Chains A and B, each alone.
Chain A
Amino acid sequence: QKEVEQNSGPLSVPEGAIASLNCTYSDRGSQSFFWYRQYSGKSPELIMFIYSNGDKEDGRFTAQLNKASQYVSLLIRDSQPSDSATYLCAVLNSGYSTLTFGKGTMLLVSP
């Protein structure tokens, strides 16, 4: 069974700090990885995706991928209280168009 693991948190960081969110996955054949942000009571919104080993930067967000270790992370620089949400890691299942989601990590950014 394909699994995506995330620490449920909450991860608490002060405003302006770097938040680091981690995710591991079991399907070694997976090629594409996504980070979504979900505010309480709302649907997920796509932050960014990554498919190559290494880092990918988009504004304050950096996704990191290490396929050998089956590990994906998301760094949020200069964290803001508005970043407080649950962050979902999703993995595109190899050979399919479906995503497997982790349970999400709750991030709390304090002013």
Chain B
Amino acid sequence: GAVVSQHPSWVICKSGTSVKIECRSLDFQATTMFWYRQFPKQSLMLMATSNEGSKATYEQGVEKDKFLINHASLTLSTLTVTSAHPEDSSFYICSAAQGANNEQFFGPGTRLTVL
């Protein structure tokens, strides 16, 4: 149980374009999902908390107009990186919380490269 998928697993795009990443909980419903970003040799940094049916909560320093989050159903959250630039190149990972102790289970991640 507690399987989370992400799509795509990697993407290369040109600067200025937008990229959408999907995160799905496959065997459970997740009212809350999380989006992280990880640069090489660094730890996970929480970008935002995605809540089903309401607006996402962004961490300080994360531009909500650049990183659009939509949590349309209990099993799907999407992150759209708008007008991507090379500095947005990173490993984007989503997670979904389950259980009384809010254990987070991570998707396999999406490696974004912006040329």
Q: Which residues of A contact B (CB under 8 A)?
A: 32, 34, 36, 42-46, 49, 51, 88, 90, 92, 97-104
Contact = CB atoms under 8 A, between A and B. Distances in A.
Contacts of A34: 103-104
B41 to A, nearest CB: 9
A46 B103 contact: yes
Contacts of A42: 108-109
A104 B43 contact: yes
B46 interface: yes
Contact of B104 (A51, A99, A102, A103): A99
Given A46-B104, A97-B97, A102 B46 contact: no
B46 A98 contact: yes
Interface of B: 32, 34, 42-44, 46, 49, 93, 97, 101-109
B43 A43 contact: no
B107 A102 contact: no
Return the 3 tightest CB-CB contacts between A and B, nearest first: A43-B109, A103-B43, A43-B106
16 contacts: A32-B101, A32-B102, A34-B104, A36-B106, A42-B109, A43-B107, A46-B105, A46-B106, A49-B101, A92-B101, A97-B97, A98-B49, A100-B46, A101-B43, A102-B43, A104-B43
Contacts of B101: 32, 49, 51, 92
A103 B42 CA distance: 6
